[in-house]
């Protein structure tokens, strides 16, 4: 090839490059291009030439028009179906708010995403009938009116249900405001509306789907995981925080569709920049396959005619704030301000009227472009795909709502706007009816209805649908846990160690061993779980490509393709997302799994509480283990690590059963009962247990305490008989031992007989008591019911004191049902570094503090003289002027 030689050296360089490009394109040597460029970049880099940022591409569609597949569907029928869906989605919200002001709902999100969903429903999203499993779809929470509207057209929902949008309590059933499996367990699979959680959960879902296959628990074709999300939603750290997990593990079963309508709630997502370009950089940098769908087909001829690249230049210059303006301004404005900046560009649109200019589609509204992107996404291998689709928020809502900053809050349309909407989309509703916003559904034998059903039939049935397995697992009986019930004799162990042994035992169980999923965020060694590395391996799709440094050791870091452990690295949000995927596998993959997620209790409900809430919504089943628990038991770590309140946070989630066991046998009884309830009986709830790292001798299980352990309270040790003064000390976790020490001192030095009780679950006790009291309230003339805690304590004399390594409010949950009231000792306040004795004195939960608390409770009842308490404080060496830990 001969290179042109004219002009100065700078021009010559550019010309030469142009020449090479032209030659390559003319000779169709495009397959060589990546190699050529790579070599060019490497050479230039080696010579120290500063290189441009290569993670973003020009502001044009990734798929050029000549690479677009032909559209397989009937565009005309699909357009009508989409229009009816649009109308019904809008009508649901408008009608609900007309009849019940303040019900809320969103019109503009789905209005911008209608094409994105319709093309997916007509051509891509698989239902679960037949061989192929259903695709797992995370729908954007605010777009639900459109999903209900589509289900209505398919005949899955009737008009009465649509009228009950956002009225869960309506007679005949309502439609939940957002995707909530808890409220619509046959319909929704994934809660998504707390923004950012759907995206991160979808990544770990795709990974878990691979895990099930790697472990031989699933075979056959694999579902795709689709996540639809908003561009504003990408500001959530959870949305983007786990992108590299998906590329590292080559999750080509994962497709994200980001609806880039350039707006969030208050205003533009990136008014002064371009959200699509910013996201492209992030996703490409993270190794995703990025498909940009920016312009609709009617821009193609303009790009083809744009030999000088002026159109692209102008597009690169304009910021999202400008594009938002063009979406609401008349065509004349766009002609003047967008095209008019350069005379040649201005001329390029001379043949178009203002009306034509204003109607030119954005890519996300053009089924042809969207179809091309989806097809490329499902055919892509080796990496996850993100589709960045440019749309207009409130598309079709007219002057009141399209592209305006206020559009997100739009709930009502006036009659004129309704008429315009109807006419724009050709919905057959008359002017007389329009004010009532009736729903429109073509008759079952219409072309549209037939087409719609045929498409879904072809794709394996309706979506979304949540279908759970009826599988019940053979849970080992309590007798199989013998070693934990017998006690540790003279060996000192922690409840964490007992738990790890227990899991190892379950892993070896023939019936359920394979179903167990141990999940750890980089803390296995902290919890003594590292022996499991070797025994069952760490799941790694690549196996282990290196020889681990500690290969010779028993506890070496063993990564294998069939590994059973999910070692997440330092991401509690990721680990929790994995746990949710495993904990809902019974509903998404129809294989029941038993996840045990072990973490620092401080970084659980506090750090990822919203995921825990979502776990309740999604009907998760499994075990959460808050390790290194207790404000004073985890002693040296100080303020950030020491947890004294996760039980309080856990108690806010209705489907959580929270336990704070003291002894190894309690851990065994609780876990066995959990296995029975969740996997033997099929109950949809989950367990939270705190585990501690303090070693002490574990007693054997006393007779007949199983029921008390599970219900939350039982008497562990009776005080001596024959004493006049009586007390009851309720203890939990390792602090129970100080209740026992206090029992001794009280008897020996103060002639108080104290019974010591093990309080394993205040939440469970309270839930039962609240329920019974409510029943009594509503049935005032019938014989009152009495709760477990009332029955248990009713026959006891004396005062009640509770002590644990948690805040006082935890035991105070049951105070209304404790005869004579409850004196609670606990660890309110910020943690400190220190020795355990120092901390326990500081928070006033040590032996001496329990003795004082008990004596004072007796003094309050007039059974002990106040001077005697004062004397005891002195004798026990407690400083009455010590700082108040709660605010000190
Ligand atoms: C964690 C969380 N924070 C805030 C909200 C409230 N919220 C609902 S929609 C919305 C704006 C959404 O914008 P975007 O993601 O761009 O979606 P669009 O409606 O534009 O498609 C906000 C702030 C929420 N649902 N979840
Ligand atoms: Mg948006």
- Ligand 1 centroid–CA 228 distance in Å is 13
Q: What is the pTM of this model?
A: 0.96
pLDDT computed for residue 773 by the predictor: 98
Distance (Å) from CA 260 to ligand 2 centroid = 6
Instruction: Average the pLDDT over 772-778 and give the result.
Output: 98
3-class state of residue 656 by DSSP: strand
The vertex-170 CA angle with 166 and 176, nearest 5°, equals 30
Tokens of 335: 């002609």
What is the Å distance from ligand 2's center to 397 Cα? 16
pLDDT digits (tens, 9 = 90+) for 741-761: 999 999 999 999 999 999 999
Cross-strand bridge partners of residue 295: 362
Q: Which residues, other chains included, contact 778 with Cβ-Cβ below 8 Å and sequence gap of 6+?
A: none
Q: Whose C-alpha lies nearest to ligand 1, atom 13?
A: 264
Which atom of ligand 1 is found nearest the CA of 230?
15
CA distance 524 to 534: 12
Q: Which residue has the tokens 């059974």?
A: 863
Q: What is the pLDDT of residue 33?
A: 78
Question: Taking Cα atoms as reference points, which of 601, 656, 648 lies closest to residue 806?
Answer: 648
Of residues 331, 390, 328, 326, the one with CA closest to residue 356: 331
Give the separation between CA 672 and CA 480, rounded to whole angstroms.
9
Please spell the DSSP secondary structure of 766-801, one letter per residue.
Answer: HHHHHHHHHHHHHSTTSPPP--HHHHHHHT--SEEE
264 Cα nearest atom in ligand 1: 13
pLDDT at 789: 98
- Which atom in ligand 1 lies closest to the alpha carbon of residue 233? 15
Confidence of residue 234 (pLDDT cuts 50, 70, 90): very high
C-alpha of 113 from chain center: 22
- Output the CA 533–ligand 1 centroid distance in Å: 41
pLDDT at 323 over 90: yes
* Radius of gyration, CA atoms only, the chain: 33
pLDDT band at 817 (very low <50, low <70, confident <90, very high): very high
- 553 vs 198, more confident: 198
User: What is the DSSP secondary-structure string of 475-527?
Assistant: PPPGGGGHHHHS--TT-EE-HHHHHHHHHHHHHT-TTTGGGEEEEESS-TTTT
Query: CA torsion angle for 500, 506, 508, 510 (degrees, to 10)?
Result: -170
Q: Given the CA of residue 234, which atom of ligand 1 is nearest to it?
A: 15
Could you write out the three-class secondary structure of 241-307?
CCHHHHHHCCCCCEEEEEEECCECCCCECCCCCCHHHHHHHHHHHCCCEEEEECECHHHHHHHHHCC
Residue 301 has pLDDT above 90, yes or no: yes
Find, among 515, 516, 533, the residue nearest to 524 by Cα.
533
d(CA 353, CA 348): 12
**How do residues 6-47 score in pLDDT, each as one tens digit?**
556 666 777 777 777 777 777 777 777 778 888 888 888 888
Q: Between the CA of residue 336 and those of 324, 326, 349, 392, what are the distances in Å? A: 16, 11, 11, 21
Per residue in 52-70, pLDDT (tens digit) is 777 889 999 999 999 999 9
Give phi and psi for 256, each to the nearest 5.
-105, 140
pLDDT score at 9: 64
pLDDT tens for each residue of 494-515: 999 999 999 999 999 999 999 9
Please answer whether residues 531 and 206 qualify as being in contact, where contact means their C-beta atoms are separated by less than 8 angstroms: no
- Residue closest by Cα to atom 12 of ligand 1: 264
Mean of pLDDT values over 114-137? 96
Task: Evaluate whether 408 touches 108 at the Cβ level (below 8 Å).
Answer: yes
Question: Token pair for residue 226?
Answer: 């689709």
Q: Is the per-residue pLDDT at 725 higher than 70?
A: yes
Q: What is the 3-state composition of the chain as percent helix, strand, coil, each rounded to the nearest 5? A: 45, 10, 45
Distance (angstroms) between ligand 2 centre and the Cα of 389 equals: 11
Which pLDDT belongs to residue 39?
86
More confident residue, 102 or 616: 616
Q: State residue 888's pLDDT score.
A: 72
Rounded Cα distance between 672 and 406, Å, is 54
Cβ 548 vs Cβ 573: under 8 Å: no
End-to-end CA distance of the chain: 81
For the cut 60, the answer to whether the pLDDT of residue 4 exceeds it is no
Task: Tell me the percentage of the chain whose pLDDT exceeds 90.
Answer: 88
What pLDDT score was predicted for residue 1?
45
Q: Which ligand is nearest to the CA of 234?
A: 1
Is the backbone of residue 80 left (phi > 0), alpha (psi -120 to 50) or beta? alpha
The pair of three-digit structure tokens given for residue 592, joined into one six-digit string: 């029941």
Which has the higher per-residue pLDDT, 22 or 323? 323
Ligand nearest to the CA of 394: 1
Mean pLDDT across the chain, nearest whole number?
A: 95
Site residues for ligand 1, CB cut-off 6 Å: 109, 112, 142, 193-195, 230-233, 259, 261, 263-265, 269, 393, 408
268 C-alpha vs ligand 2 centroid, how far in Å? 8
Q: Is the pLDDT of residue 138 over 70?
A: yes
């Amino acid at each position: 090839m001969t290179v042109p030689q004219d002009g100065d050296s700078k021009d010559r360089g550019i010309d030469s490059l142009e020449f090479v490009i032209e030659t390559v394109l003319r000779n169709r040597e495009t397959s060589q291009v990546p190699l050529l460029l790579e070599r060019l970049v490497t050479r230039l880099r080696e010579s120290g030439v500063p290189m441009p940022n290569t993670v973003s591409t020009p502001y044009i569609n990734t798929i050029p028009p000549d690479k677009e597949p032909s559209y397989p569907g009937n565009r005309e029928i699909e357009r009508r179906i989409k229009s009816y869906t649009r109308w019904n989605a809008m009508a649901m919200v408008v009608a609900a708010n007309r009849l019940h002001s303040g019900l809320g709902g969103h019109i503009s999100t789905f209005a911008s995403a209608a094409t994105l969903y319709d093309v997916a429903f007509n051509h891509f999203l698989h239902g679960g009938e037949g061989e192929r499993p259903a695709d797992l779809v995370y729908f954007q929470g605010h777009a639900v009116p459109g999903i209900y509207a589509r289900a209505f057209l398919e005949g899955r929902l009737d008009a009465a249900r649509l009228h009950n949008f956002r009225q869960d309590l309506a007679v005949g059933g309502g439609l939940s405001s957002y995707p909530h499996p808890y409220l619509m367990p046959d319909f929704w699979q994934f809660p998504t509306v707390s923004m950012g959680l759907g995206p991160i959960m979808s990544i770990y879902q795709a990974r878990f789907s691979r895990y099930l296959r790697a472990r031989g628990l699933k075979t056959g074709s694999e579902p795709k995981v689709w996540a639809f999300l908003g561009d504003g939603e990408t500001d959530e750290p959870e949305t983007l925080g786990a992108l590299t997990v998906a590329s590292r593990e080559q999750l080509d079963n994962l497709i994200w569709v980001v609806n880039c309508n350039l707006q969030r709630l208050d205003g533009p997502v990136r008014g002064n920049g371009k959200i699509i370009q910013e996201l492209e950089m992030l996703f490409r940098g993270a190794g995703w396959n990025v498909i940009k769908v920016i312009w609709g087909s009617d821009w193609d001829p303009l790009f083809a005619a744009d030999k000088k690249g002026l159109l692209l230049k102008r597009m690169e210059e304009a910021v999202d704030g400008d594009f938002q303006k063009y979406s609401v301004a008349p065509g004349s404005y766009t002609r003047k301000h967008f095209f008019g900046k350069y005379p040649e560009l201005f001329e390029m649109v001379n043949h178009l009227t203002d009306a034509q200019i204003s109607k030119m589609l954005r890519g996300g509204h053009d089924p042809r472009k969207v179809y091309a992107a989806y097809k490329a996404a499902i055919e892509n291998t080796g990496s996850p795909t993100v589709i960045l689709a440019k749309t207009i928020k409130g598309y079709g809502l007219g002057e009141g709502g399209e592209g305006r900053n206020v559009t997100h809050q739009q709930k009502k349309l006036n009659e004129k706007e309704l008429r315009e909407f109807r006419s724009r989309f050709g919905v057959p509703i008359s002017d007389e009816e329009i004010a009532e916003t009736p729903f429109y559904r073509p008759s079952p034998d219409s072309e549209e209805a037939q087409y719609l059903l045929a498409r879904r039939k072809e794709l394996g049935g309706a979506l979304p649908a949540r279908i759970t397995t009826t599988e019940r697992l053979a849970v080992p009986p309590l007798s199989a846990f013998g070693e934990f019930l017998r006690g540790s004799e003279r060996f000192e162990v922690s409840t964490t160690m007992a738990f790890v042994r227990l899991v190892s035992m379950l892993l070896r169980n023939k019936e359920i061993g394979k179903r167990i999923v141990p999940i750890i965020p980089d803390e296995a060694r902290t919890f003594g779980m590292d022996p499991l590395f070797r025994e069952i391996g760490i799941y790694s799709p690549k196996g282990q490509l290196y020889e681990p440094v500690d290969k010779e050791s028993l506890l070496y870091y063993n990564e294998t393709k069939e590994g059973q452990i999910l070692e997440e690295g330092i991401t509690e949000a990721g680990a929790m997302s994995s746990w949710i995927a495993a904990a809902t596998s019974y509903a998404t993959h129809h294989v029941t799994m038993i996840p045990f997620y072990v973490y620092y209790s401080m970084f659980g409900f506090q750090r990822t509480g919203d995921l825990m809430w979502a776990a309740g919504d999604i009907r998760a089943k499994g075990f959460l283990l808050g390790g290194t628990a207790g404000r004073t038991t985890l002693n040296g770590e100080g303020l950030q690590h020491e947890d004294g309140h996760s039980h309080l946070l856990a108690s806010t989630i209705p489907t959580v059963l929270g336990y704070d066991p003291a002894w190894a046998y309690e851990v065994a009884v609780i876990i066995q009962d959990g296995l029975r309830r969740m996997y033997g009986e099929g109950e949809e709830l989950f367990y939270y247990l705190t585990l501690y790292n303090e070693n002490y001798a574990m007693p054997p299980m006393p007779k007949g305490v199983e029921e008390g352990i599970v219900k939350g309270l039982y008497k562990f040790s009776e005080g001596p008989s024959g004493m006049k003064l009586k007390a009851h000390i309720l203890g939990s976790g390792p602090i129970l031992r100080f209740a026992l020490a206090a029992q001794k001192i009280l008897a020996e030095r103060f002639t108080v007989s104290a019974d010591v009780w093990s309080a394993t679950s205040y939440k469970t006790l309270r839930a039962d008591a609240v329920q019974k009291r409510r029943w009594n309230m509503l049935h005032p003339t019938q014989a009152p019911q009495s709760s477990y805690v009332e029955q248990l304590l009713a026959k006891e004399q004396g005062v009640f004191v509770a002590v644990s390594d948690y805040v006082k409010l935890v035991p105070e949950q049951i105070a209304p049902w404790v005869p004579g009231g409850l004196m609670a000792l606990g660890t309110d306040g910020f943690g400190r570094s220190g020795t355990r004795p120092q901390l326990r004195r500081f928070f006033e939960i040590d032996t001496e503090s329990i003795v004082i608390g008990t004596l004072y409770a007796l003094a309050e009842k007039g059974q002990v003289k106040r001077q005697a308490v004062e004397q005891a404080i002195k004798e026990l060496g407690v400083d009455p002027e010590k700082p108040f830990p709660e605010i000190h």
